[in-house]
Amino acid sequence: MRLLYISTGITNSGGVSRVLSLKANAFADALGYEVHIFSTNDDSQTTFFSFSEKVKIHFSKYKNIGLHNIFGFRKEVRELNKALNPDAIFITDNGLKSFLIYDCLYPKAIKMYEIHSSTDAFLNQAYYSGIKNKIYQWLIRHQIKKFDKIIVLKEQFKLGFVPESKQLAIPNPIPFLVDAQSSLHHKKAIAVGLITPRKGYERMLRSWKKVVQKHPDYQLEIYGEATGNYSIMPLISELGLENQVKVFPPVRDIEQRYLEADFLLHSAYSEPFGMVFIEAMALGLPVVCHKTEADDIVINGKNGWVAEDEDDYTQKILQLIEHPEFLHSFSENAVETSKRFQLKEIMHRWQVLLSQRKT
C-alpha cells in the first residue's frame, strides 16, 4: 500500500513533526507500506526527528505560500500525486492552503484529513484575521466534507458540521519504547514544549520562584525551542532564578531527561492533547498542569494535579515535594494511564482503518 502525507514544517521539533515521524516509520518499517511525505515551509532539508530510510521525503520549493505562489504549489501537489498514484493520502497541514488542493489529489486515493488541535483552535486559528479568516472559515466548511475521513485526537474534538460517520478519534502514540521509570529521587522538575506565549511559562516561573523559596535545592529544567522574538530568559533573571532554572534546546533523547526528573510541569493556556503528558507518564512522572482540553489525560488527584489558578499551581507543586506518598501513588497511576497510548496499539487502529477503506 502506498501512502502520501502532505504536511508542513516537518524538519522542526514540534509535536506534529514528531508524531508524523513515528507513524511514517511504523508504516514503513513495521507494516511494510511505501510511505512518501510532501512538506512545505521547511528552513532546511535536515529533519530534527529521525525518519526511516524507507520513508521518502519530498520538499516543496515554496515557503510562505500565498496568492503569489499558490498555483505553483498546486502544480507541485498535482504532479506528485500523478507520479505516485497513492492508495491513501493524509493531510496533516491544517493551514489555509490545505483546503486549496483537494482537486489536485489522486482521485482514486482514500483521502484523510488529520486535525492536530482542539476544535476551537482549528476553527479559529490565531494567525488568520479579517478577510483571510473569513476565507478560511468558508473553506473549512465547504472543503473538509469532501474528505473520506476526518481524524481528530479525541471524541470531543469532532466537528459539528461534518457527518459523524466521516469522523474518527485516534490519539497520538507515545514516541518511544518504555523499559524504565524514574526513581523520583532527583529533586528536579522538567518542562517540555515550544517556548511561546501560549505555553504560559511566565506563570510556571512565578510559581517556581515561590517553590524554591521553601525548597532551594530543587531544580527546573525546561526543554524547548523559542519561536520568533519571544524569550523567557529576561523573566528568569528578573525573578532571580538563574541557579534554579535551566533552559535547553530540544533534544532527541528526551526520555532520558524525563528519567532524571521527579515530575512534569506544564502551564499552557491551551493543550488539545498533551503529547508531553503521555511521554512523562510512561516514564513514571506525575503531571502538574493548569486546566486545558487535555484534562482527560491528567486526572486530578490520581496521576497528577490540575490547578485552578496560579496560587493553586504553586500549592500543588509543593504537595508533590512535601508529600512523597502523593508522588509515588501518582507515578504508578501515570504509568497505567500511558498504556493505552502505546505505539503498537495506536498503529493497529490506523491499520484497521486503512484495511476497511481498502475493501
What's the rounded mean pLDDT across residues 259-276?
91
pLDDT band at 93 (very low <50, low <70, confident <90, very high): very high
DSSP 127: T
In the chain, the N- to C-terminal Cα span, in Å, equals 12
What's the rounded mean pLDDT across residues 33-61?
94
pLDDT tens digits, residue range 122-134? Answer: 887 656 677 877 8
What's the rounded mean pLDDT across residues 102-125?
90
Summary mean pLDDT of the chain:
93
9: left (phi over 0), alpha (psi -120 to 50) or beta: left
pLDDT band at 359 (very low <50, low <70, confident <90, very high): very low
Rg (CA), the chain: 21
Round to whole Å and give the CA distance between 174 and 352. 19
Which position has the higher pLDDT, 16 or 184?
A: 184
pLDDT band at 65 (very low <50, low <70, confident <90, very high): confident
pLDDT at 120: 81
Residue 306 pairs in a beta bridge with 289
pLDDT tens digits, residue range 243-258? Answer: 999 999 999 899 999 9
What's the rounded mean pLDDT across residues 71-91?
97
* Phi, psi angle pair for 277, to nearest 5°: -60, -50
pLDDT at 33: 97
pLDDT at 357: 64
CA angle at 98 for the pair 279 and 123, rounded to the nearest 5°: 70
pLDDT band at 84 (very low <50, low <70, confident <90, very high): very high
* Phi, psi angle pair for 244, to nearest 5°: -110, -5
User: Nearest-CA neighbor of 315 among 300, 294, 335?
Assistant: 300
Percent of the chain with pLDDT over 90: 77
Round to whole Å and give the CA distance between 86 and 91. 13
Domains of the chain: 2-173+342-355 (3.40.50.2000), 188-341 (3.40.50.2000)
DSSP 97-116: GGGS-GGGS-TTSEEEEE--
DSSP 279-324: HHHHTT--EEEES-TTTTTS-BTTTEEEESSHHHHHHHHHHHHH-H
Look up residue 3 and give its three cell numbers: 501512502
Q: Are 159 and 150 in contact (CB under 8 A)?
A: yes
Look up residue 198 and give its three cell numbers: 501560549
User: Nearest-CA neighbor of 197 among 237, 228, 218?
Assistant: 228
CA angle at 260 for the pair 258 and 261, rounded to the nearest 5°: 70
Q: Are 223 and 195 in contact (CB under 8 A)?
A: no
